[in-house]
Structure 1
Amino acid sequence: MPAPENRFKARLAAGETLIGAWVGLADPYLAEITATAGFDWLLIDGEHAPNDLRSILSQLRVVEASASLPLVRLPMGEDWAIKQALDIGAQSLLIPFVESAAQAAHLARAVRYPPDGHRGVGAALARASRFSGIPDYLATADAQIWLGVQVETRRGLAALDEIVATEGVHGVFIGPADLAADMGHPGDSAHPEVRAAIADALARIAAAGKAPGTLFTRRDEAAWALAQGARFVATAIDVTTYAAAIRAAAAEGLALKPAR
């Protein structure tokens, strides 16, 4: 019995364009609600959300039970963190702030078992192998891992061609907010200079045969990114969606109070 098929990886490899959302509320019940919405994929965020390994695991379980495909973003690309995320069953990882081919190559080795990588061999007690229930896990796991790296600085853009050429990197996500800040336009990812850099990066990623991704929550901006060739695009963030909805609900409710 082989490792489970990574349908996110398979669908991107088949040329599909996938729409997703950020899951940052750090709670499995709320993640389960988001998983009923119908997004192609959901990213469980460990970088800017108060998640730890156990809370990521709890949310991974409920997303796996839905039609949405789970990704996990770690706060860093440390070997031990990658190993733990893979062992709990994550098959698609997104690693932030990659700025060199050497860094990308190290990450590609971290998600693979020896002799092609240096992922620690402890799957016998891991959820990923169904607790030793998948006898061929070690031999088949590497082929089902999807590694995405985030390029979100000028230094990363300068090394982009080398990063996308790295074996074992399957997708590159352009982070518009961090890139805008690094380019001197904090809070303005719509700045013409930033837009030009993003468009150029998406085209270069696609030309290299890798999947380009990004995040824009405004419909017109997401449509623009898709027109530039992005193939995995987040169009919503659960935190901001909930915050906006509950504030609007509060305003509507408070407006019903009789005048004093």
Structure 2
Amino acid sequence: MENPLRARARADRLIGYWLTTASPMVTEIAAGAGFDWLLVDMEHAPNDLGDIVHHLRAAAAGGNAEPVVRMPVNDAVMVKRLLDAGARSLMFPNVQNADEARAAVAATRYPPDGIRGFSTVSRATRFGRLKDYAPRACETIYVIVQVETSQAIDNAAEIAAVEGVDCVFVGPNDLAANMGHLGKASAPEVQRKILDALAAIRSKGKRAGLLDYNVDSARKMFDAGFGLIAVGGDSGSIARAMDDLVARFRQGSQGNVNLG
């Protein structure tokens, strides 16, 4: 079965949702909300390898959104274990150059095309029941590499040109910090660098991704040519909803009502 993110490569707007609460129930809820893909974070969230299987099950039960797992580090052993656990779309953080991109791809491929170890009874093979999993594994695996520094942006075209890289994803917040604009991803210099990355990625015929939680800004970035954009996240959504609920009750309280 072809990976749905690759199968929809001609779709120009695939909206995603970032999951950092480490709650499979939230993953299940998000999977049914209408998003095209979900990012299950292991880099900046307390998800361990064992948790990922629960997120994958929750996503499958909740809807059709494709779960993408962002690893905590670009490590071939972690890649092998995640793929064997049933993940099929992976995000590699902080890829700096084409060599690192090639290493990422190699970790997802069986020999002679890569270095992935082989297991006949993994969850990915449905415990040995999918007899043709190995020869068709590449069809199911989607590789996203993140560029998050000025150096990586300068190398974006070479990174995008690596065979097996499906999407190059710009990390705006780390890029801003790297450029001396900590917490200010909207700074003009940062935005120009993001558009530089977009042009380089698209010049190699690859899909470009981005994280942008501002609806108006995200729409502009889709119009500019980004194909995958994470337009929200669970922690922020929950926090804002709670804050709004408390604020509405406090503003509407009268007399001796005390909600504090």
TM-score per shorter chain, which class? over 0.9
Match of 2:98 among 77, 95, 101: 101
Do the aligned partners of 1:79 and 1:119 also contact (CA within 8 Å) in 2?
Answer: yes
**What is the aligned partner in structure 1 of residue 218 from structure 2?**
222
Indicate the SS of the match to 1:125. coil
Indicate the SS of the match to 1:147. strand
Q: Percent identity?
A: 42
Give, as a single letter, the amino acid of the residue that structure 2 aligns with 1:35: A
**What is the aligned partner in structure 2 of residue 151 from structure 1?**
147
Indicate the SS of the match to 1:214. strand
Indicate the SS of the match to 1:141. helix
Indicate the SS of the match to 2:39. strand
Match of 2:66 among 39, 64, 69: 69
1:25 Cα deviation from its structure 2 partner: 1.1
Match of 1:128 among 111, 116, 124: 124
Structure 2 residue 189 is the aligned partner of structure 1 residue 193: yes
Superposed CA offset, 1:201-253 (max 9, x none): 11211121111000100112101211221000110011101011012112333
Superposed CA offset, 1:6-58 (max 9, x none): 1112112x344211110111011111111221111111111111101111110
Q: Distance in 2 between matches of 1:234 and 1:258?
A: 43
Q: Distance in 2 between matches of 1:241 and 1:252?
A: 16
**What is the aligned partner in structure 2 of residue 6 from structure 1?**
3
**What is the aligned partner in structure 1 of residue 30 from structure 2?**
34
Q: Distance in 2 between matches of 1:24 and 1:222?
A: 20
**What is the aligned partner in structure 1 of residue 83 from structure 2?**
86
Do the aligned partners of 2:157 and 2:203 also contact (CA within 8 Å) in 1?
Answer: no
Aligned residues: 255
**What is the aligned partner in structure 2 of residue 173 from structure 1?**
169
1:258 Cα deviation from its structure 2 partner: 3.5
| Structure 2: gaps (5+ residues) | none
1:159 Cα deviation from its structure 2 partner: 1.5
Q: Distance in 1 between matches of 2:233 and 2:183?
A: 16
Structure 2 residue 42 is the aligned partner of structure 1 residue 24: no
Do the aligned partners of 1:44 and 1:60 also contact (CA within 8 Å) in 2?
Answer: no
| Structure 1: gaps (5+ residues) | none
Q: Distance in 2 between matches of 1:50 and 1:211?
A: 29
Normalising by structure 1, we get a TM-score of 0.94
1:108 Cα deviation from its structure 2 partner: 0.7
